[in-house]
Amino acid sequence: MVHRSGDRERCGTGIDGFDTVLYGGIPRANTVLLTGSCGTGKTSLALEFLIHGALKGENSLFISVTENSEKMLANIIPYNFFEESLIKSGKLVFVDLPVMYERLGMTKAELTMEEIDLLVAAIASLVRELDTKRLVIDSITSVCYKLKTSEKIRDFILKLSKALTDVGCTSILVSEMSAQASSYSMFGVEEAISDGIVLMANMERRGDLLRTLQVIKMRGTMHSRAKYVLDLTPEGVLLAPLLKGGSTGT
């Protein structure tokens, strides 16, 4: 692992290949957009990031937006390193955002600016209360659907990112995008505000569909910009270099 003097403190993801790509991990307190189309492994990678953190003693929080967290856990790969005790001890906490909406009285389809502030404050408060060091919101796109305008989305992500950075929480915001998208996020705003962008994709090569991962940007560290092929296994996410001889050039 390469470490250079003056480097920011790292939040090692625990995913060997990914930490190598990032020269040691995500710079601590960064807010990273993990973006990709469906079936590319975003939720699995994000969850593994949290499990490794919890195993290292860092309080980790998963905020589920689209899917009931119990259902999500039932469908996730049974990781060999996962321990039920992480949940029982509170090291790994799952919260369903729809429940938070309900408790905050946010029942309308679109949030007002005041409600955005309230939501950010509620998430920040939860992070402080739980002393959360790692956070995943899956997905930020679903939250953005309730914000409607790019101004509100920008406001929400900027405020959330600042609140999380202030408490030293390293965050992954899972973002959904269509396979044909020309930007890295559904609304085109999220990517500009994040400290890092990790793109996950399905790449077709001669009829084979490969899952790929590429770090597009990551503030505070050098990183590889190459494309890697990944596999989701009970040992976690594994990465291998994409063989150039077979590249379609896309």
Partner 1 sequence: MSDKRVAQNIFDELMEAPPSSAVSLQMSIDHYLEVLRGVLDLFASKKEADVIYVTSTISFDAIKRVLEALDIETSRVFFVDCISHMTMGASSGEMDEHTTLVESPTMLENVMLKVEYLIRLSEAAEKIVVIDSINSLAIHNNNWILSEFLHILVSGLRARNVYTIILSVEEHSTPEINTMVSLVCDQGIRTNLKEE
Question: Cβ closer to partner 1: 12 or 196?
Answer: 12
47 contacts: CB under 8 Å, gap ≥ 6 = 62, 76, 136
Say if CB 22 and CB 170 are below 8 A apart: no
How is 76-126 classified by DSSP, letter by letter?
S---TT--THHHHTTSEEEEEHHHHHHHTT--SSS--HHHHHHHHHHHHHH
Question: Cβ closer to partner 1: 72 or 229?
Answer: 229
Select the residue interacting with partner 1 from 93, 186, 210, 213 (CB under 8 A).
210
Site string for partner 1, 214-243 (x = CB under 8 A): ---------------xxx-x-x--xxxxxx
- Applying CB under 8 A, the span of 28-36, 118-126, 188-196, 204-212 interacting with partner 1 comes to 204-212
Question: Cβ closer to partner 1: 6 or 207?
Answer: 207
133 contacts: CB under 8 Å, gap ≥ 6 = 11, 53, 58, 59, 60, 168, 169, 170
Q: Is 77 a binder of partner 1 (CB under 8 A)?
A: no
Cβ 139 to partner 1 shortest distance, Å: 26
Cβ 100 to partner 1 shortest distance, Å: 37
Q: Smallest Cα–Cα separation from 146: which of 156, 159, 136?
A: 156
Q: Is 90 a binder of partner 1 (CB under 8 A)?
A: no
Question: Cβ closer to partner 1: 103 or 206?
Answer: 206
Which chain residues interact with partner 1 by CB under 8 A?
A: 205-208, 210, 229-231, 233, 235, 238-246
